[in-house]
């Protein structure tokens, strides 16, 4: 909207220049004024409205997020995994929903690692989703370094695959677990025990989990699996906690577990 207003104002200033230069009488003594005065007015207009153009761009982006409209600029952009470093309000809000500038440390499948930010409207009840250390999939463009967008829902399967590949590369996940998740039977599990292995990888603590899995038919079986988790997620696998799992019916020793936002 502000861009339309700006275009209208500039158009008006150009019209004034044309009228002064070609229509208003004044002889040769007015020649220099016919150029300088309108040009000065146009220059002042452009300079004075420049900050409003920036605000307009920010507001337009916020409205896009508020409406839930995907950002076409990042529709097919590659996906990386971002760890939140910080999040601060920008001062902009829509319907009492604050916009936050979120700072990420982003990792990609091709080995890149870089800082980046995105701006996102976040309702009060979802602030825990942007807490420091939270891991979220982001879309990035190599031609726009330092700027990312949160991945849309329709690309979450792709994002989960990339997340898993990064964990496998770090030795934090079993390479087989992605196959189990894709081809296995979904079920619910209950943690029976979580025993530290004494090994730490990339700041993640190794835990040997013993899980009681309930099959869809009501039957149960028990299995064990080593998983590497950051300290802030160890509480998610304490005895008695329920987990979403997948298993292969023909080989129940092959189990994958799902935890929220685990790096």
CATH code for the domain of 80: 2.40.50
Q: Give Cα separations from 159 to 101, 128, 166 (angstroms).
A: 22, 20, 11
Question: Could you give the CA distance from residue 23 to residue 41 in angstroms, rounded to a whole number?
Answer: 18
Residue 50 falls inside a structural domain: yes
113 and 141 share a domain? yes
pLDDT of amino acid 202 = 87
Domain count, the chain: 3
19 and 82 share a domain? no
Question: 239: which 2 tokens?
Answer: 């005895």
Q: Considering 135, 161, 187, which residue would you say is the last residue of a domain? A: 161
Residue 18 falls inside a structural domain: yes
187 and 253 share a domain? yes
Is the pLDDT reported for residue 10 higher than 80?
no
Expressed as residue numbers, the domain containing 8 is 2-67
**Residue 64, SS3 per DSSP:** helix
Helix 31-67 to helix 2-22 angle (10° resolution) is 170
Is the pLDDT reported for residue 183 higher than 70?
yes
Could you please report the per-residue DSSP string of 118-145? EEEEE-GGGGGGG-TT-EEEEEE-TTST
Question: Could you give the CA distance from residue 107 to residue 81 in angstroms, rounded to a whole number?
Answer: 5
Q: How confident is the model at residue 17 (pLDDT cuts 50, 70, 90)?
A: low
Is the pLDDT reported for residue 75 higher than 70?
yes
Is the pLDDT reported for residue 62 higher than 80?
no
pLDDT (tens digit per residue) in 78-109: 999 999 999 999 999 888 899 999 999 999 99
77 and 156 share a domain? yes
150 and 186 share a domain? no
User: Once rounded to an integer, what is the mean pLDDT over residues 41-55?
Assistant: 52
DSSP 232: G
User: Once rounded to an integer, what is the mean pLDDT over residues 9-20?
Assistant: 55
pLDDT of amino acid 59 = 45
pLDDT (tens digit per residue) in 200-252: 998 899 999 999 999 999 999 999 999 998 887 888 899 999 999 999 999 99
Residue 167 falls inside a structural domain: no
16 and 56 share a domain? yes
182 and 156 share a domain? no
Computed from CA positions of residues 248, 249, 255, 260, in that sequence, does the dihedral angle turn out positive or negative? Answer: positive
Residue 144 falls inside a structural domain: yes
Residue 170 falls inside a structural domain: no
Residue 156 falls inside a structural domain: yes
Residue 166 falls inside a structural domain: no
Q: State the distance between the two ends of the chain, measured CA to CA, in whole angstroms.
A: 41
**Average pLDDT over the chain, rounded to whole?**
79
User: Once rounded to an integer, what is the mean pLDDT over residues 168-183?
Assistant: 86
Residue 41 falls inside a structural domain: yes
Q: Considering 30, 50, 67, which residue would you say is the last residue of a domain? A: 67
Asked if 193 and 253 count as a contact pair (C-beta separation under 8 A), the reply is: no
125 and 82 share a domain? yes
Q: How confident is the model at residue 263 (pLDDT cuts 50, 70, 90)?
A: very low
Is the pLDDT reported for residue 195 higher than 70?
yes
146 and 97 share a domain? yes
44 and 123 share a domain? no
Q: Considering 139, 161, 183, which residue would you say is the last residue of a domain? A: 161
pLDDT of amino acid 34 = 55
pLDDT of amino acid 26 = 55
User: Once rounded to an integer, what is the mean pLDDT over residues 171-197?
Assistant: 91
Could you give the count of Cα atoms lying within 13 Å of 61 in the half-sphere of its Cβ? 18
pLDDT of amino acid 88 = 94
54 and 78 share a domain? no
243 and 199 share a domain? yes
Greater confidence, 151 or 231?
A: 151
pLDDT of amino acid 6 = 46
């Amino acid at each position: 909207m502000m861009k339309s207003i700006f275009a209208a104002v500039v158009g008006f200033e150009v019209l004034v220049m044309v009228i002064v230069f070609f229509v208003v009488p004044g002889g040769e003594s007015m020649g220099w004024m016919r150029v300088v005065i309108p040009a000065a007015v146009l220059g002042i207009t452009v300079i004075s409205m420049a900050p409003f153009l920036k605000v307009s761009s920010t507001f337009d982006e916020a409205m896009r997020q508020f409406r839930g409209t995907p950002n076409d600029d990042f529709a097919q952009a590659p996906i990386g995994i971002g760890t939140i470093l910080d999040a601060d309000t920008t001062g902009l809000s829509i319907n009492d929903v604050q916009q936050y500038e979120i700072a990420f440390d982003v990792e990609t499948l091709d080995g890149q690692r870089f800082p980046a930010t995105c701006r996102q409207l976040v309702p009060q009840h979802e602030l825990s989703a942007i807490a420091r250390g939270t891991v979220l999939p982001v879309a990035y463009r190599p031609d726009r370094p330092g700027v990312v967008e949160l991945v849309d829902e329709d690309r979450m399967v792709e994002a989960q695959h990339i997340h898993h590949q990064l964990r496998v590369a770090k030795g934090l996940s079993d390479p087989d677990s992605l196959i189990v998740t894709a081809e296995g039977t979904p079920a619910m599990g209950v943690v029976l025990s979580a025993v530290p292995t004494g090994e730490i990888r990339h700041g993640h603590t190794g835990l040997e989990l013993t899980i009681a899995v309930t099959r869809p038919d009501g039957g149960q079986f028990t299995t064990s699996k080593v998983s590497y988790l950051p300290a802030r997620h160890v509480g998610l696998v304490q005895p008695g906690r329920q987990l979403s799992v997948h298993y292969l019916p023909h080989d129940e020793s092959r189990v994958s577990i799902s935890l929220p936002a685990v790096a």
